[in-house]
Homo-oligomer: A and B are copies of this chain.
Amino acid sequence: MAGRAAVPEVIWARPERAGRGPKPAYSRADIADAAVRIADAEGLDAVSMRRVAAELGCGTMSLYNYVPRKEDLYELMVDAVSGEHELWEPSGDWRADMVRAAHGTRGLMRRHPWLPRLMSSIYGFSPNALRYLEHCLACLDPLEASYGTKMELVAMLNSVVTMYVANELAAAERARSLPWSEAEENAVRIAYLGGRIATGAYPRMAAAFAEDAGPIDLEAVFERALERVLDGFDPQA
């Protein structure tokens, strides 16, 4: 009567080691690391149960002893890289700390370009996510606001960073599975866009693109976005 549970499971609530049987050959961390390694090197779509099992050196179905569903594997991956979040001593300047946190998150997502895609489908309360959240709240101690407001701030900052990185990486990530390069694809899309705009049907879009000759300074855009979000929560501003 082993059977699969017909009742919801949170993988984190499951003990790593059950009392009874032979001791597991791998830890949850081993599995998460293997999956992360594959995703980093070959993209998220390369992460299959078979591939992860092969990376670990075990049979495919053995993985299901550790991870009941593939989605739980994703949850393990997100938590694993969430552990890379740097946790520093709050400086007392909550704005500076939040900017630092946002840069940290951006770095994390650039190191693991598959993260934005998973973020939108994964429940946000894995162990390492909790530690990170608690740390952000600690940084926000100097801000005079309810915890509810502080949670909203963190959520909004994460949203903006996630979307920013997702856009930044979208083309590159897609190019991984296509027979042409990111630059080629971008060129074709810009050409199409230019054609549409040249019809005169979108006068303001035309003005927008005419406005800034030269490439946009994405770094400045990011920085401005952060400041604006923080402004929205700053009683001083």
Contact = CB atoms under 8 A, between A and B. Distances in A.
Interface of A: 6-10, 12-13, 71, 116-117, 120-121, 123, 125, 127, 130-131, 133-134, 137-138, 141, 146-148, 150-152, 155-156, 158-160, 162-164, 166-167, 170-171, 173-174, 178-180, 184-185, 187-189, 192-193, 195-196, 201-205, 207-208, 211-212, 216, 221, 224-225, 227-229, 231-233
Given A150-B208, A152-B225, A160-B160, A6 B120 contact: no
A174 B120 CA distance: 11
Contact of A221 (B152, B211, B228): B152
Contact of A231 (B13, B178, B231): B231
A216 B211 CA distance: 43
The 9 closest A-B pairs by CB, nearest first: A228-B232, A147-B208, A159-B163, A137-B204, A8-B188, A8-B185, A134-B202, A10-B192, A120-B166
B205 A134 contact: yes
Given A148-B208, A180-B7, A211-B147, A228 B137 contact: no
B232 A120 contact: no
Contact of A123 (B159, B164, B189): B189
A19 to B, nearest CB: 20
Given A159-B164, A229-B232, 11 more contacts: A8-B180, A8-B185, A117-B120, A120-B163, A125-B196, A127-B196, A131-B202, A133-B202, A155-B163, A158-B163, A160-B160
Contacts of A8: 178, 180, 184-185, 187-189
B147 A207 contact: yes
Contacts of A202: 130-131, 133-134
Contacts of A131: 202
Contact of A147 (B188, B196, B204, B225): B204
Contacts of A185: 8
Contacts of A134: 201-205
